[in-house]
């Protein structure tokens, strides 16, 4: 029958697919906070935003301070709050509870009419009050609610109604501090409004009693602990700052390695000398756990010394927040293939020092021992201050994947290529598609090479094949299974670890060209 009435038909065909660039400087972190949702990561890009959602610093946890330090470098954090579950496999067993208050109506025999609940669990909500006042717009049918904390008015929800069909119904107004539930008292229009007066919320619980390794590790089915980050795919690091339990570190390494797209940033415990720190990393000496071995993890040592303005004293804290900050600086100023360490990109800002400085000349042997066992030291130098001075992954076997920059580079490449390749799912598996795929990938690799990600590369996906018979990689047996194969060979750029300078003393009548030849031949 054709296409019916003769006419011009204009369609679109998109052949402009390309490998996109990932957002930079994003990490996942989990720990104890004052408030905020438990086990539901929130994207935080500033200290002010962190304070608004997760509250201030705590006396029982360094986590808020560590996040604050990471954010000060320009890092972006997916923050997940940790609390105790009586059964970590059941999200409903969370022990953290939100403070609340039930308000009575204005009937002669008052009934419960509104439930006011703090927006997130914790004792912070016990400091909240709500003040029900008359509406200035319609004092007969409407009312207003002021939300107070420590007698300071945080917000006013003005001129709301108990009529669930009204556009001013109280449940339709959103608050950053409370949630409001209409209990439908049934007392009738006007009198079902909450009584005037001030009411204090109570019953908040931080959910910290009994908190254990299991709460940090979590359960995959319940999406608790580490598994709260299952749906986050734009980060390249994961950390549990301040937590150095062998069980948690082992679980964190396994989680990142199983995903294949995150690097686990961890640390040694407090108050360890270099030998003890290596023993912890290897599970030797006084430790009986298995050694930490994975190129999807990196361990940092020792603790850094800072001045805590809240407690008004110097103290030692985890280096992990600063490491995440250094990685963000590294990624923004250069890219993920650069080594996130050294004086140019690894300076630890606003730090008074470290508790053990293996970078000191007199401790060279200890510094060698630490780095030879894949612990990344934070050192202090007279001309540079505190500096992240190592970037090795927790892999014992010698290969380029033992370098943090190579692992991070591959994570970014894999994420970028996976997003691009998804467009080709269900496309015809033939040489035309192979060539199209190659034309989209090759420019990105060329760009990466120009940005010093690698010395050289080669992509092979049968892009030159004219037919299935010409293919060497995508042979009929794999094509008929629906598989499209592509190989990307990469020679990663490695960072300088040792600068070898030789001062060659020659005779006064020596020819330097001849001397150079002699030295090179020696």
Res. 502: pLDDT tops 80 = yes
pLDDT tops 80 at residue 383: yes
H helix runs in 153-218, sequence order? 213-217
Q: pLDDT (tens digit, 9 = 90+) per residue, 26-53?
A: 999 999 999 999 999 999 999 999 999 9
Span 26-87+209-405 CATH architecture? 3-Layer(aba) Sandwich (3.40)
- What percentage of the chain's residues is helix, strand, coil (to nearest 5)? 30, 25, 50
Task: Enumerate residues 6+ apart whose C-beta is below 8 A from 43.
Answer: 76, 77, 78
Would you state the pLDDT for residue 168? 93
Encode pLDDT of 213-257 as tens digits.
999 999 999 999 999 999 999 999 999 999 999 999 999 999 999
* Average pLDDT score over residue span 289-304: 97
Q: How confident is the model at residue 1 (pLDDT cuts 50, 70, 90)?
A: low
Nearest-angstrom CA–CA distance, 330 and 81: 27
pTM: 0.94
Q: Which of 138, 141, 140, 170 is nearest to 157 (CA)?
A: 170
What's phi and psi for 472, nearest 5 deg? -105, -30
For residue 303, what are its two tokens? 């603790």
Would you state the pLDDT for residue 459? Answer: 98
Provide the CA 337 distance to its chain's centre, in angstroms: 18
Model pLDDT, residue 21: 85
Percent of the chain past pLDDT 90, that is, above it, reads 91
φ/ψ region of 210 (left if φ > 0, alpha if ψ in -120 to 50, else beta) reads left
Q: Which residue has the tokens 């053990």?
A: 356
Strand segments, DSSP code E, in 332-432 are 353-354, 375-381, 385-388
Q: What is the pLDDT of residue 13?
A: 85
Beta strand pairing status for 313-317 and 304-308? antiparallel
Q: Tell me phi and psi for residue 363, to 5 degrees.
A: -120, 25
State yes or no: pLDDT of 2 exceeds 80. Answer: no
Q: What is the 3-state secondary structure (H, E, C) of 258-315?
A: HHCCCEEEEECCCCCCHHHHHHHHHCCCCCCCCCCCECCEEEEECCEEEEECCCCEEE
Would you state the pLDDT for residue 5? 87
pLDDT of residue 204 exceeding 70, the answer is yes
Between the alpha carbon of residue 478 and those of residues 391, 418, 481, the distances in Å are 39, 20, 5
> Residue 332 and residue 328: Cα distance in Å, rounded?
6
pLDDT tens digits for range 258-280: 999 999 999 999 999 999 999 99
Q: How far apart are CA 303 and CA 305, in angstroms?
A: 7
**What pLDDT was estimated at residue 362?**
92
pLDDT category of residue 118 using cuts at 50, 70 and 90 = very high
Per-residue pLDDT, 277: 97
Q: Which two tokens stand for residue 333?
A: 């100023």
pLDDT number for residue 317: 97
> 501 pLDDT exceeds 70?
yes
DSSP state of 503: -
| Least reliable range by pLDDT among 10-19, 89-98, 431-440 | 10-19
Q: What is the rounded distance in angstroms from the CA atom of residue 341 to the CA atom of residue 345? A: 6
Q: Which H, E and C letters describe 441-492, residue by residue?
A: HHHHHHHHHHCCCEEEEEEECCCCCCCHHHCCCCCHHHHCCCCCCCEEEEEE
Looking at the predicted structure, is the pLDDT value of residue 522 above 90?
A: no
**Tens digits of residue pLDDT in 303-342:** 999 999 888 899 999 999 999 999 999 999 999 999 999 9
What does the domain layout of the chain look like in residue ranges? 26-87+209-405, 100-200, 427-522
CA 387, CA 339: separation in Å to the nearest integer? Answer: 13
Q: How far apart are CA 53 and CA 437, in angstroms?
A: 43
Mean pLDDT value of segment 409-430? 96
Contact in structure between 42 and 33 (CB atoms under 8 Å): no
For CA atoms 510, 514, 516, 518, the dihedral sign is negative
| Structure token pair of residue 466 | 């004219």
Query: Do strands 375-381 and 178-182 pair parallel, antiparallel, or not at all (unpaired)?
Result: unpaired
User: Average of pLDDT values for 150-179?
Assistant: 94
Fold of 100-200: Immunoglobulin-like (2.60.40)
Q: Which residue in 521, 461, 519 sits closest to 489, CA to CA?
A: 461
pLDDT of residue 379: 97
* Residue 91 burial (10 A CB sphere; 0-12, 13-18, 19+): middle
CB atoms within 10 A of CB 131: 15
Q: Is the pLDDT of residue 3 over 90?
A: no
Q: What is the pLDDT of residue 33?
A: 98
CA 294/CA 71 separation, integer angstroms: 27
């Amino acid at each position: 029958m054709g296409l019916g009435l003769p006419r011009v038909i204009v369609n679109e065909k998109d052949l402009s697919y390309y490998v996109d660039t990932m957002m930079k400087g994003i990490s996942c972190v989990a720990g104890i906070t004052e408030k905020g949702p438990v086990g539901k990561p929130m994207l935080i890009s500033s200290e002010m935003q962190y304070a608004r959602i997760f509250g201030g610093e705590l006396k029982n946890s360094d986590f808020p301070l560590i996040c604050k330090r990471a954010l000060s470098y320009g890092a972006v954090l997916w923050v997940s709050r940790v609390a105790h579950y009586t059964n970590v496999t059941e999200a409903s067993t969370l022990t953290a509870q939100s403070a609340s208050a039930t308000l009575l109506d204005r009937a002669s025999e008052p009934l419960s009419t509104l439930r006011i609940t703090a927006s997130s669990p914790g004792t912070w909500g016990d400091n909240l009050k709500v003040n029900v006042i008359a509406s200035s717009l319609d004092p007969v049918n409407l009312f207003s609610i002021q939300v107070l904390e420590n007698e300071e008015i945080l917000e006013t929800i003005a001129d709301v109604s108990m009529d669930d069909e009204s556009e001013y119904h109280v449940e339709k107004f959103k608050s950053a501090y409370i949630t409001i539930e209409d209990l439908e008292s049934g007392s009738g229009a006007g009198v079902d409004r909450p009584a005037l007066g001030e009411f204090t919320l109570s019953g908040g619980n931080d959910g910290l009693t009994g908190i254990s390794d299991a709460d940090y590790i979590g359960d995959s089915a319940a999406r608790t602990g580490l598994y709260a980050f299952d749906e986050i795919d734009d980060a390249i690091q994961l950390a549990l700052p301040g937590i150095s339990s062998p069980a948690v570190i082992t679980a964190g390494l396994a989680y990142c390695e199983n995903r294949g797209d995150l690097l686990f940033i961890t640390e040694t415990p407090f108050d360890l000398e270099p030998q003890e720190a290596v023993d912890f990393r290897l599970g030797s000496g006084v430790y009986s756990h298995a050694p930490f071995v994975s190129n999807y993890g990196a361990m940092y040592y020792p603790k850094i010394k800072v001045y805590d303005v809240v407690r008004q004293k110097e103290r030692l804290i985890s280096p992990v927040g600063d490491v995440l900050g250094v990685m963000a600086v590294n990624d923004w100023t250069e890219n993920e293939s650069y080594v996130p360490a050294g004086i140019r990109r690894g300076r630890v800002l606003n730090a008074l020092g470290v508790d053990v400085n293996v970078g000191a000349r007199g401790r060279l042997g200890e510094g060698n021992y630490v780095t030879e066992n894949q612990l990344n030291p934070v050192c202090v130098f007279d001309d540079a201050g505190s500096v992240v001075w190592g970037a090795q992954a927790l892999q014992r076997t010698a290969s380029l994947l033992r370098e943090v920059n190579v692992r991070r580079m591959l994570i970014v490449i894999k994420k970028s290529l996976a997003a691009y390749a998804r467009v080709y799912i269900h496309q015809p598996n033939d040489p035309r598609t192979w060539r199209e795929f190659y034309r989209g990938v090759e420019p990105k690799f060329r760009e990466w090479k120009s940005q010093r990600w690698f010395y050289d590369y080669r992509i092979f996906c049968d892009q030159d094949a004219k037919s299935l018979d010409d293919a060497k990689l995508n042979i009929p047996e794999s094509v008929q299974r629906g598989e499209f194969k592509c190989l990307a060979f990469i020679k990663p750029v490695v960072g300088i670890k040792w600068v070898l300078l030789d001062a060659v003393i020659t005779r006064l009548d020596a020819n330097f060209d001849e001397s150079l030849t002699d030295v090179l031949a020696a």
